[in-house]
Structures are given as structure tokens and as C-alpha cells.
Structure 1
Amino acid sequence: MSTPAAIKNYLQTTLHQLEGFLNSPRFKNIKRPYQAADLVKFKGTLPIEYPSSHQSKKLLKLLNENFTQRTPVHTLGVTDPVQLTQLGDIEVVYVSGWACSSLLTATNEVGPDIGDYTYNTVPNQVERLFKAQLHHDRKALYNHQVQGDEKMVDYLKPIIADADTGHGGNSTVMKLTKLFVEKGASAIHFEDQLHGAKKCGHLSGKVLVPTSTHVQRLIASRLQMDIMGVENLIIARTDSESATLLSSDIDPRDHDVILGVRDDLSKVVPLSEALARAELQGKSSTEIADLELDWLAENKLYTFDELVKIILQEKSLFDEELYQEYRLQSQHRSINDRKDILNELLSLDTELSIPFNHYAPRTREGYFLIRPTLDNAIERSLSFAPYADLLWLETKTPDLQVAKDFSSRIHAVYPHMKLVYNLSPSFNWSAQGFNETQLKDFIWELAKLGFTLQLVSLAGLHSNGVSFAELAEGYLVNGMKSYVDLVQSKEKQLNVDLLKHQAWSGIGYADGVLELINNGGGSMSSSTGGEGNTETQF
């Protein structure tokens, strides 16, 4: 392809293929700020196919079918190939960043879910599981042919993985996406927290990025997938229902929830300055913490619109109809624009001043304080929706009413949008007021609302801990009786293939390969025959 004519022909052919790809029914609801002509510049000349793209088609078909029927695709977060193979009829696999952070990072340094592990950590776990899937799939087909197994287990379940915040800027998001595609993930999810300040979605102190920043992450990930020519899915997650901090006020869409004080910079000493002065004065950490609490107690916080209402009431200018019109016109507008809109509606001889200062309460890191609300989570999700295949609302509690409110507002604008729900072990499920029927039906009730994909994110981690703790405690007192009662007897009862762990690992498959190399010989050294094979005891 060294001649100009050959290059021109290749570019024209590739452009035509890309136009067909971007305009295919698969992407009919996806928005891109670029065209095929832009994309062709970044493609390269070597055609590469990725198994994860094949798996993503399987996943999307499954999600579409269940979304139409309003039934759930529910799964459990797995941590290793053992759990992967024991999913039974569960049809997808989930890989949690929290679990990877706490169990096996790329550097073998484990810790809490604060996003400080290297960005290849979760892709590496995906690769480990995907390669295990391929191995067990080969084993299953071999056993079907050689041993006459009637039913073949489908080990090739699509993998959905945690991409966290993207672990950096947009170029890092693209590299991370590329890794996930190469390693075997059919779908990945990004959350709208700030990289470097990220926390588990169920911890306090979360810092959101501007809405526009997260939109760019989603676009960057889609661009990388388009360059690779894959159909893998992108899930946009928001943690804004409970987040209290915002990294920047640059996006007017976030101004509705930014908190400020009723004053101006000349009268209120900003919180960060007050804390810095205390440090220079040699105040202790306890004194500084108390100073921060005192400052917040002395300076009540409002959103701009809350303060507008108070000022209007104080000046006897409040009219509910006018205020609602102001709110309608101010949606997604900046604070400065809101001031202009208000004064245009009031038509006063002198402009009404709203002494709102949202810089004064900023933290020492420079983060803005925000009001966590479901409305904010919905508005953010609506902004993310055109760029994503699914939307994920991370919730404070397992609340069906919250799910209904979210679903109705999203589907009023995007009726096609499939939703995701984290059935998190962070919730104390027995303390949520569910009776047994409600607890049993919760998954199916969510599915009726369009929460098609549902996951117990850390199921593998917790079940691993419970079962091993029970075994260790019993083994200490009752020895092998505990192992037999708690492990082998249950394996037999549940027909768990790990009972014959050599066969589970694929030793028969390996023997078959070695015998083929030996041209049919080597039966005396076969691992699966003869008196030395302990698994004939079962």
C-alpha cells in the first residue's frame, strides 16, 4: 500500500465501511461529535478483530430481549475463575473495581476503593477471567465429543467491568478502553467522580467532575471503540445522588446545586483562607477541624435559587408563578445568566441584587460544595444518555420509589434507555424495612422499571469470606468432619463440578492434547486413568 493510488483506494474503502458502521442500527441512539471522515485518520491499515466485540453483540441481544420483556439480567460480582465457572444459568459476569482494589491489583498492593491502583488492574483481571472462559469452553467441547457429555455449559458469558473514573484525562480513558477491549470486556462503566479524589460510591466525601467532563470521558471511550471497530457497550454511572463536592463550576448545568453563602467576598472570610490562617498560627488539627465546623455553622449555605426565593419573600416580591417561570428559564443556565433572567422577569426600575457567594465555602482543595439530590442525578444522567448504552444510578439505599422516580424521568426523554442497578452489599439489606416477599421480589420489580442489568457487585468477595470463615472455624474443632460436612457433602448435593477438581481444571483435555502429540501413545502416563487417579473415588 505504498503507492498514492493504493492509499487513496484504501482510504475510500475504509471511509465507506466506517460510514456503514457508525450508521448501523446498533448505534441508532448514540450521539457522536465526529464523523466517519474524522475517524478514518486514526484507523491504521491492519484489520484486527476482537473477541470482546463478538461477546458484546451477545450481551446487547440479551439486554434488549430482557428490556423488552421487563425482566432482569442479574449477575454476581466474581473474583476468580472458580466463581466464574459456578455462575450456573446466570448469563453475564461482573468484575468490580472495589474487589480488584482489595484483592489483586497489578502491583499486588491492596487497599480500599479510592481509585489509586494502576489502571491496568481491572483489565488484567478481565483477561484472567476471559482466558479462563476460553479454557473451560474448550474443555467443555472436548468432553462433549470424547466423554459424551450431553449438555455443554456456556462458559462464554459476556464480561462487564468497572472502568472507575477512567483513571486520568481523556487520552488515559482511551488507553484504558483499549485495554478492556483487548482483554475481553464486553461492556465497561465510567462514574462521574474526580480521578485522584475518587471514593467508593457508598462513602462520603465524593467529588464530582463537571457534567461536561464526564461527557468527554464517554466520547473518548466511544472514539477508541470506533477506532478499533468494535461494538462494546458503555455504561454511564452517576454518583451524584449522594456526592457533596464538585471539582469545578465551569459547566452551567451544575449551577443548580452549587452551594454558597449569603454575602460577598468583602464581608465573609472564605473557609479555605480561615483554615490557612489557623495553620499559620500553629493551631492543632483538632482546633482546625472545630474551626471548619464553626464556620459552616455561622454561614448558612444555600443554592442560588433558594436564596432568590428568600430575597423575593423578604422584599415582598415573591410570586409563585413568576418564581416557577424563573426556574424553568434558568434550567442549565449559569448563575450570572440566572441573575439576568430574574431581573428581566421582575422588570424593576433597579436591578435586584442577590448576594450569593459560592466561592467562600470551597474546601482547601478548591472543591465547591453542592446539594446532593436525586434531581441532580437525573439531570446528569440525561446529559450522559446520548453518549451511553446504559445508565447507572448509584443509590444511597435500595429504594424502589427512588428507582421509579429515576426511571420515569429518564424514560420520558429516552424511552429506549436500559438502566443499571447495584444491589450493593454496602446496604444493610435486613435493616431496609423489606418483608421476605418484598426482598425476594425486589430484583423483578426493578426490572419492570427498566433496570435491566442488575448486579451484586461484591457477591464473590463476601461469599468467599463467609464460606471460608465457617470452614476454618469448624476445621479447628472438628477436623476433617467439618471439611466433609461443609465442602464435599455440599459439592455432592449441589452437583458442583469442583468436587472432581482435576477434571474441573481440564486435565482430561490436557491429556488428550499430549496423546495426540504422542500419536495415540502415552496411555500409561495418562493423568486420568489407572489406580493412581483419586478422582475415581467419586
Structure 2
Amino acid sequence: MSFRCSVKFGERRGSFLMSRGLSNISRFPKPKDAEIENFVNAQAESIAKWWESDRFKNIKRPYTPLDVVKHRGSLGDDVVYGSSIQAKRLFQVLENKFKNKLPVHTLGVIDPVQMSQLARCDDIEVAYVSGWACSSTMVGSTNEVSPDFGDYPYDTVPNQVERIFKAQQMHDKKQLLQFLESKDTNKRVDYLKPIIADADMGHGGTTTVMKLAKLFAEKGAAGIHLEDQLHGGKRCGHLGGAVIVPTSTHISRLVATRLQWDIMGTENLVIARTDSCNAKLLSSNVDPRDHEHIQGTINKNVKPWSDFLSELEFDNAPSTKISMAEANWYKENKLYTFEEAAKEQLSESQFQTFKEQWNKNLKLGKRGYLSIDELKSLVRSVNGGSDIVFNWDAPRTKEGFYMFKGGMKPAIQRSLAFAPYADLLWLETKSPDLKQAQAFSKEIHDVYPEAKLVYNLSPSFNWSAHGFDDEQLQSFIWDLAKEGFVLQLVSLAGLHSDASSFWKLAKRYQTEGMKAYVEEVQKVEKENGCDVLTHQQWSGAEYVDSIMQVVQNGSSSQTLSTTGESFTETQF
């Protein structure tokens, strides 16, 4: 049986309200053909109208509403996910702040305790969960901790999101109960801050990316970010040795994520992050958009490094000899992009003509790039039909990776390519640089004026060593927001504050005992109004007590109450 969708993408139709009987067909053991077709067409029409909403006004999809319906199943759009409710709120917060050139700035949290304290800050409107923090502190199913190489089980971060999201809901329930009993709204805390989480590089191929996106949506993340690094070659963005994937590969990840959420009927946000600004390796040359940034050698008849390596390994050469040979090979074979190679081998006038032809072809083609074959053809046209020497295979690594010249140009090109498929764009940088951010923002907004940008206020930066005075440090976030960097985060703030405060306590406690604990913890909690001072109330003991009384219908309210004479927090 085949179905057709009567609604074309982008076509606005009259108002319709689908009856609940057509929202799913699970109640029919053996539905008639007409009932199935009516269900499919109604679902497709609903999706088409959904896509035309302001929420998706800047999103491109290379598939149709019918493609989504075919993969939804009989429940249709009846299933509602908490993360989608949070995502709608997140979208509105970002929209409003972006229009007013204000930041949505936050701190990375590593557990429900930090989340509950972050929630008490009215001007911090979202929470962030870092993959780095999960890798190094929040063990996954393997009980291993390690640096941020993205090599932990792919459900590690979603599980931590679930833990925090459930804690958010617990504190929210506790607070509603307290309000109904006291009618005091003065202390109301917004515990349900939308969670943005680190999805690394997607942890695999298309189906893995979709499973990961599904996990995040099921477990409570309103938004995630995906970076253009290679699965298996992943590094923290502030470590060396990162391998990026072709531009097209990362676009496929973004499309897969969006398709998964469309199938689920959720509005979660995806952030496209590029690590190409600092990258030196590319996994494949399959995408012509990457060609101008791949490096090669201009030495004739050069023996590839991989051939040297194979011979050394066959002779059982020690690692020291191999390392020295590798260093010598790259020293003797300087690396060039094709443009740099052309400049070295053409005359000044030939190179100038080559560049003019390059720019002319870019304007005519409107693609923003030329492939290596097109560049070689341009060289021949200005060089009497002769090629220049350029070998990008000889420098390839043992794993087959190409040498890549990272920088702002590829970062901008990639971000422009990702923009139609993402809700926000993240430029990963190696230092906090307002001028660099301004330059990036201008290039992006000249093409996509409504593109929302993301900035990592990383603890990996030595902020004191970059020439900021106190006034500049205090205004940096708001200065970035004026450039469209609406979402900003200190990814590992929770990790560092946890370590700093506990180290201060432990160092004193070893010799001063309870004096240290009282002065470093309890006095500070009292002075700062930290609600964890009364940790039993903070954890929801009174909420559970109320649940028990409902179940027992008031019976045993005196004997089983958690607030009886043994309740020690009355001391505070």
C-alpha cells in the first residue's frame, strides 16, 4: 500500500483541527486501509503546519513531512516529552535575548546540588552539562574516568542529564507543595531551567547520532551541541590532535538529529559547533568545500610518510627512531595549501590572475568554494596548460588523515554551511578574543542575520594572562552579546568551584577539625543564605512526608513524620 501527502512543504493551508481519533491508530487492532491513509495524511498535514511556525522559520530540512510520518509509528504525535516543553521555553528565552543583544549566560553544573543553587539565580536562565565533566567525574556504565576523548559510553551524558532533570522536577514539586501550605511566593525559585548538554561528536554514524538525540530528548535536555570532530579522533577542543570530519559529514549529523526529533514530535534545539579554527587534521577529502584548506607538499617525487613508517615498523624500529623520522620528514617537506603552493610556483602576475579567476568563479557559482580539480584547472589556464606540484596524499598520517590548515576562514565557511540545519552556531576558540568574535559575527550575520551564536568562556583559558582589566572582565559577556553571541557558558565552572571549595575545607580540616568545617561550611552557608544548610528540607524530606500522609490518610502522621522531635534541623 502506498500513501501520498497532499501537503507540500511551505504551503499554507486552511485551519484544521485533527480529531483525537486521527492522532493515532493504536486503538485499532486491524485498522482499515482508509483509516490508515487518513491518519497518515492528517499527521503529514499537521507536521507541515508545525514546520511553518516561527520556531522553525530558519531551519532547512532535506526531507518531507511524509518521510517523518512513515517512521513515527501508530502513536503519532500523542507522546509528549518534558524536554520539548523545556525546549519551547529555551527557544523563547534565546529569541528575546538575541533581539535585545543580551546574553543567556550560565555555568556548567556537575550534579543536582549545583543545579539547585544555580536555579536560585534569577539572571541565570539555563543549565549546562559538559561532556568533559561527565568523562572526568561522572562515571558511565564502565565506571571509568578519563580525559575528554569522547570514548565513554554514549549514554553517559544523557544519563547525567536525566539525573539533573529529575532533581529539577523534585525540587519544583517540593516548592509547589510549600507554596500551597504557606502561600509564600516571595521565595519562589525557578528550578526548571532548560538544560543544554554536550553531545560531543555524536558518538558514531547516522543511527548512533539518532539514538543519542533520542536519549537526550527522552531524558530531559532542551538542547544539545554537536561538534565537527571525528568519532574516534575526538579531543577536548583545547587539546591538540583533534581530527575534524568533512563538512558534509557534520551536516548529516545535524540532519539526523533533526529527523529524530521530528519523528518524536519535539522542538529540542541543536547547536552546531566547529573545532576547525584550531584543527590540524581532516578525516577525509570527500567534500570539495574542504579542499582549499587541505595541505600538501610541493617536493617532486616525494616518498609518502606512510611508506617510510611501514618500512620502519617492518624493521621493528624503536618508537624514538620513528618519532625522529616523522619530525624529519615534515621538516624536509614543508606543507602548503593549494593556494600557497600556487603562489610558490607561479609568477607574481600568474598568481594574481589565478586569484582573480578564482574569485570570479566563486561569484558566478555562488557556492562559496572550488574543488581541487577546479583549482588545478585554473592554474593550467594561467600556466600555459601546465600543472604545479601539489601532493596532499604524501603527508597523510598513519591513520590516513589529511593535513588541514585550521583557522578563522574554514571556521566561518563551515559555520555558514551548518547554519541552515542548526538553531545556534558555536565557534570554539583557543583564547578569549573579542575582536576575533566580532570578525566571526560579521561574516556570519552578513549571510544569516538571525543566526544565534555561542561562546565557550572556557576555564582552559588563563583569563588573567590575556590583558583584561577588571572592567573588561566584567563586561566581556555583555560585549559578546552585542555581537550576537547570545548563549555563553563557563563549561567547567562546577568542576573547578567544587574542587576549589572542597580543597580549601580539606586542607584546614586535617589539622583544625570541626573548627574548619564550621568556618568553611556552616558559617558560609548561613551568611550566604545557602538552602543546603538545612539539607533534609533541601532534599525534599517534607515532600515525601506529605506523600506518606496522603497514602496513610492521616494515620501514623505523628509516629512516621520526618519532622518529629528527632528532626535535628530545628537547631537552625
The aligned counterpart of 1:222 is: 258
Confirm or deny: 8 A CA contact 1:507 1:527 kept in the other structure: no
Q: Which amino acid aligns with 1:44?
A: G
The answer to whether 1:144 aligns with 2:173 is no
Residue in 2 aligned with 1:16? 45
Q: How far apart, in 2, do the equivalents of 1:501 and 1:37 lie?
A: 52
Match of 2:6 in 1: none
Tell me the residue number matched to 1:153.
189
Deviations 1:108-139 (A, max 9, x none): 21111101111111110011011101110000
CA deviation vs aligned residue, 1:300-351 (integer Å, no higher than 9, x gap)? 11000111122222xx54363652432453652211111113334x2x6x30
Change in Cα spacing, 1:230 to 1:338, as seen in structure 2 (3 Å) is same
Question: Which residue is 2:240 aligned to?
Answer: 204
Find 1:326's aligned residue among 340, 346, 358: 358
Most deviating of 44-53 and 318-327: 318-327
Residue of structure 2 aligned with 1:186, choices 211, 222, 237: 222
Question: Normalising to structure 1: TM-score of the pair?
Answer: 0.96
Q: Do the aligned partners of 1:105 and 1:118 also contact (CA within 8 Å) in 2? A: no
CA distance in 2, matches of 1:33, 1:341: 32
Residues 322 and 268 from structure 1, CA distance in 2 versus in 1: closer, same or farther, beyond 3 angstroms?
closer
Q: Which position in structure 1 is the counterpart of 2:99?
A: 68
Structure 2 residues not aligned, in runs of 5+ = 1-27, 363-367
SS in 1 for 2:128: strand
Contact 1:271 1:363 (C-alpha < 8 Å) held by counterparts:
yes
- Pairing partner for 2:439 from 393, 402, 405: 405
Post-superposition CA distance 1:347-403 (Å, at most 9, x none): x6x303111000000000000001111111010100000000000001000111110
The answer as to whether partners of 1:329 and 1:341 remain within 8 angstroms in 2 is no
User: In structure 2, which of residues 260, 275, 281 is the aligned counterpart of residue 239 of structure 1?
Assistant: 275
Question: In the alignment, residue 242 of structure 1 is paired with which amino acid?
Answer: N
Asked if 1:463 corresponds to 2:463, the answer is no
Q: Distance in 1 between matches of 2:67 and 2:135?
A: 37
Residue 529 (1) aligns with residue 563 (2): yes
For 1:85, the equivalent position in structure 2 comes to 116
Aligned-partner SS, 1:86: helix
Q: Choose from 274, 290, 296 the match for 1:260.
A: 296
Given candidates 50, 59, 63, the residue that maps to 2:90 is: 59
Specify which structure has the bigger relative contact order, considering alpha-carbon pairs within 8 angstroms and separated by 6 or more residues: 1
Which deviations, in whole Å up to 9, do the C-alpha atoms of 1:435-481 show, x marking residues without a partner? Answer: 11111111111111110000000011111001110000111111111
Map 1:363-402 → 2, pairs under 5 A: 363-402=397-436
Percentage of matched positions with identical amino acids: 55
- TM-score normalized by the length of structure 2: 0.91
1:248 is the counterpart of 2:279: no
Could you tell me whether the CA contact under 8 Å between 1:527 and 1:533 is conserved in 2? no
CA separation in 1, counterparts of 2:559 and 2:440?
A: 62
**Aligned residue in 2 for 1:97:** 131
Q: CA deviation at 1:147?
A: 3.3
Aligned-partner Cα distance in 1 for 2:183–2:515: 35
Residue 279 of structure 1, CA deviation:
1.6
Q: Which amino acid aligns with 1:7?
A: I
Structure 2 equivalent of residue 505 of structure 1:
539
- The 3-state SS of whatever aligns with 2:455 is strand
The partner residue of 1:121 within 145, 156, 168 is: 156
Alignment counterpart, residue 49 of structure 1, candidates 52, 72, 80: 80
In the TM superposition, residue 105 of structure 1 has moved relative to its aligned partner by 2.9
How many angstroms apart in 1 are the aligned matches of 2:541 and 2:131?
Answer: 32
The amino acid across from 1:26 in the alignment is: R
Verify: 1:494 aligned to 2:528, yes or no.
yes
- Letter of the 1:338 partner, please give it: L
Q: 1:207-263 CA deviation, whole Å, 9 max, x = no partner?
A: 000000000000000000111111110100000110100000010100111000003
Q: Distance in 1 between matches of 2:153 and 2:196?
A: 19
In the alignment, is residue 441 of structure 1 matched against residue 475 of structure 2?
Answer: yes
Deviations 1:191-214 (A, max 9, x none): 000001101010000000000000
In 1, are the aligned partners of 2:354 and 2:378 still within 8 Å (CA)?
no
Counterpart-to-counterpart distance in 2, 1:62 and 1:177: 22
Q: Partners of 2:181 and 2:166 in 1: how far apart?
A: 22
The alpha-carbon deviation at position 522 of structure 1 amounts to 2.1
Q: Is 1:336 the equivalent of 2:373?
A: yes
CA distance in 1, matches of 2:228, 2:356: 29
- SS of corresponding position for 1:338: helix
Are the counterparts in 1 of residues 196 and 222 from structure 2 also a CA contact under 8 Å? yes
Alpha-carbon separation, structure 2, partners of 1:164 and 1:368: 22
Q: Residue 288 of structure 1 is aligned with which of 303, 317, 322?
A: 322
Q: Equivalent residue of 1:67, what SS?
A: helix
Residue 507 of structure 2 corresponds to which residue in structure 1? 473
**Which residue in 2 is equivalent to 1:26?**
55
Structure 1 distance, partners of 2:415, 2:185, is 46
- Measure the CA separation in 2 of the matches of 1:305 and 1:150: 65
Match of 1:38 in 2: 67
- Give the match's secondary structure for 2:224: strand
